[in-house]
Amino acid sequence: MAERPGGGSAAPLHIAAAAAAVTADAATSRVVVEPAQAGVRLDALLAGCIAALSRTRAASHVQAGHVRVSGVAAAKVVPGLRVRPGMVVEIAVQPLPPSELTPWHDADLRVVYEDADLVVIDKPPGLVVHPGAGHWQETLVHALLAHAPEVAEVGASERPGLVHRIDKDTSGLLVVSKTAAAHAALAADFARHTILRRYVAVVLGRVAADRLTVQSGHARHPSDRRRFTGKIAGLRQATSHLTVLARSTLASCVVAELETGRTHQIRMHLAERGHPIAGDALYGGQRPLPRTARAAAEAHALAEQTRQALHAYALGFRHPSTGEALRFHSSPPNDMAALLAALFPDGVELPRLDVALPRAGSAESGSIS
């Protein structure tokens, strides 16, 4: 459901994406590296500063010789080059190659809202968002190309229209751009943290604090490259705001509001605080549980959850063309709804996005109420 009351304030600018001075002419974009970006990889810098580029596409531009860096010999301009303050990076952004993705016409695409600029999708669990290793067909991107063919001309050719994503086994809301202008505007809003995203999760154990903010690093786990960890200091930071809505004998229902949007961020933050998401085998959410008489029914319900019990239930942002405040809410899918009912028979009420939505250029963000 979409709601459109207006007004609001915005989140702080994301330094890594907004600090560089970017200018452009008809053929070339120039990025001047700021002190806060010292040590960032060249491909990551370009992807963060130029909305039309994914990191993969930025790296391909570097490898093809379309990028120059002041003070660096051409042979040493590689995707992994660590930039220094004051460097001037010039890139000749190349037109997108024709899409080789095949539209998926039989997909059950759940459209929540659509206009000429964007489409909001309620993604079911089990659907991969974009093609990648092991999933080259029948992804959300393939379904979007069948539904809105113009998406093929927007953004990165391997991820047309996308400005964010959610994991395969996470369900819920995401916005996709249908025009280059909308893509650039939404990508900038994500970089500034002015798009509000809330998730509901069922986690193992009784979370002690009613509210907490988790701030950590974000990096690949050193011993399992499928996972991420917040225990390694690095250039990337991750921040989640957590609110406990209910507790049962064996579990808690938690709302997570994202300040950053790192891969596996919520799953990582909860697991590393001893409360993995129920059903999340990668992060410890499938483990033996006590089966006392009191807990037996809950243990059975938790054991039946075969994917992470995580749902992106609320999404709020300003329309990229009109500035109108858009708010969307989605109910958890059947498997998660059944789990919530089994664990919390008195019901759980998810807080709605009734806060004022951020406006461009403002410096505050909404919070859970």
348 CB contacts (<8 Å, ≥6 apart)? Answer: 200, 245, 246, 253, 340
Indicate which residue of 167, 169, 189, 280 is catalytic.
167
- The DSSP string of 167-218 is -TT-EEEEEEESSHHHHHHHHHHHHHT-SEEEEEEEEES--S-SEEEEEEE-
Q: Could you give the CA distance from residue 250 to residue 256 in angstroms, rounded to a whole number?
A: 19
Catalytic annotation present for 167: yes
Cα–Cα distance list, 78 to 62, 82, 235, 281 (Å): 6, 9, 19, 37
The answer to whether residues 167 and 312 touch, using CB atoms and an 8 Å cutoff, is: no
> Can you tell me whether residue 364 is helix, strand or coil?
coil
The answer to whether residues 27 and 92 touch, using CB atoms and an 8 Å cutoff, is: yes
The pair of structure tokens assigned to 114 is: 């659509």
Q: Could you give the CA distance from residue 242 to residue 201 in angstroms, rounded to a whole number?
A: 10
Q: Could you give the CA distance from residue 71 to residue 87 in angstroms, rounded to a whole number?
A: 8
Strand blocks (E) in the chain: 2-3, 21-24, 29-32, 67-69, 88-91, 111-114, 118-123, 171-177, 196-204, 211-217, 219-220, 228-229, 237-247, 251-258, 310-318, 325-329
> Can you tell me whether residue 268 is helix, strand or coil?
helix
Residues β-bridged to residue 9 = none
Q: Which are the catalytic amino acids?
A: 167
